[in-house]
Amino acid sequence: MSALAKTAAGAGCTILALPLLVAVIAATLLSGSMAGSGGASASPSKHALADIPPKMLALYQRAAPECPGLSWTVLAAIGKVETDHGRYPTMTSSAGAVGPMQFLPSTFKAYAHPVPPGGKKPPTPWDPVDAVYAAARLLCANGARNGKNLRRAIWHYNHADWYVNKVLKIADEYAAAAGPATGAAGKAVAYARSQLGVPYRWGGNGPSEGGFDCSGLTKAAYAKAGITLPRVAQAQYQATAKVPAGQPLLPGDLVFYGSSGNLHHVGLYIGNNKMINAPNSHSVVRIEDYRWHNYYGATRPAAQKGTR
């Protein structure tokens, strides 16, 4: 491809210290998965419609089902990073990768069959149809199937953490934003918004205790919606319905940070890549980008009631 702390046992939450950043990124790169990348059937955003040539957009959407659970937005984001959707069709990388999806010929050969409808016979990495289908198969073989480990799959496309993060960021931008939360999720979001500016307090469950920590805020928000959550981040993740990696986040979803068995932080997603969050003892309940370096995954508490 192209060359291009708190443990879950604690009540509170914190951002990992900077000296741990490199280690966390390395660990989550291989074991974590990122959810906010648009679902397999996600509608294109206005940005996607403006940025992706119509034939390529249709091709990404047609090829994605080759890997169950894979979003077309991920294929499109890879196409964007590699050759701007084939706008540089003659580009050959210094490593010898070729074509619109920048395949090494030897790698392409492993994922070229069966020849997709409209592909070349014999298949070639220079052909957009052949290349996009092969990309879907490569991702599927390395963790993208049913969202098992989307980060790992993209890392296998290009072994660089910056590349994974860039692809997922573009994929988020290509998916149309979800509508406003309704039902239980809407009530949880409305409550969390009403707490903006409340101080952070370790172990806090609300203003009467001097403020919230992260899981205290999410627990209180869903209590207003009639859903009882456990007290700490790890337990909340285990108790709620998982959002498969590669599926779009919806307002009201919980977003978790850390590693398997050690989820130390949780926020409440509100749409447009933002969450309401009680981050640390130096801050207050606030709105910020949910894409933190040690993002682990998301759950959907509102699914417990079968309503949004």
Q: Is residue 267 part of a domain?
A: yes
> Is the pLDDT confidence value at 66 over 90?
yes
Do 77 and 162 fall into the same domain?
Answer: yes
Read off the pLDDT of residues 77-114 as tens digits, 9 standing for 90 and up.
Answer: 999 999 999 998 777 888 899 999 999 999 999 999 99
Q: Is residue 191 part of a domain?
A: yes
Do 232 and 190 fall into the same domain?
Answer: yes
> Are the C-beta atoms of residues 120 and 111 closer than 8 Å to each other?
no
| Mean per-residue pLDDT of the chain | 84
Specify the higher pLDDT residue, 76 or 307: 76
Do 46 and 98 fall into the same domain?
Answer: yes
Give the CATH number for residue 298.
3.90.1720.10
Give residue 181's pLDDT: 78
Collapse the DSSP code of 217 into the 3-class scheme (helix H, G, I; strand E, B; otherwise coil) and give the result.
helix
Q: Above pLDDT 70, what percent of the chain?
A: 84
Q: Is residue 261 part of a domain?
A: yes
Do 218 and 165 fall into the same domain?
Answer: no
> Is the pLDDT confidence value at 210 over 50?
yes
Burial class (CB in 10 A: 0-12, 13-18, 19+), 84: middle
Give residue 41's pLDDT: 61
Specify the higher pLDDT residue, 258 or 179: 258
Do 274 and 147 fall into the same domain?
Answer: no
Give residue 294's pLDDT: 85
Do 114 and 212 fall into the same domain?
Answer: no
Of 132, 157, 174, the position where a domain reaches its end is: 174
Q: Above pLDDT 90, what percent of the chain?
A: 63
Long-range (24+ apart) CB contacts under 8 A made by 82-86 are: 82/1, 82/2, 82/4, 85/51, 85/52, 85/53, 85/56, 86/53, 86/56, 86/128
Give DSSP secondary structure letters for 80-123. Answer: HHHHTTTTSTT-B-TT--BTTTTB-HHHHHHH--SPPTT--SS-
Burial class (CB in 10 A: 0-12, 13-18, 19+), 117: exposed
Angle of CA points 271, 272, 274, to nearest 5°: 70
Do 154 and 203 fall into the same domain?
Answer: no
Give the CATH number for residue 73.
1.10.530.10
Tokens of 17: 């210290």
Distance from the first to the final alpha carbon of the chain: 41
Give residue 272's pLDDT: 77
Do 129 and 203 fall into the same domain?
Answer: no
Give residue 197's pLDDT: 93
Read off the pLDDT of residues 128-185 as tens digits, 9 standing for 90 and up.
Answer: 999 999 999 999 999 998 777 888 999 999 999 899 989 988 988 898 776 777 899 9
Please name the residues in contact with 118: beta carbons below 8 A apart, sequence gap of 6 or more.
129
Q: Is residue 296 part of a domain?
A: yes
Number of structural domains found in the chain: 2
Pure H helices in 98-250: 105-111, 128-139, 150-157, 161-174, 183-194, 214-223, 233-239
H/E run at residue 242: strand 242-243
> Is the pLDDT confidence value at 28 over 90?
no
> Residue 104 sits in which domain range?
37-174
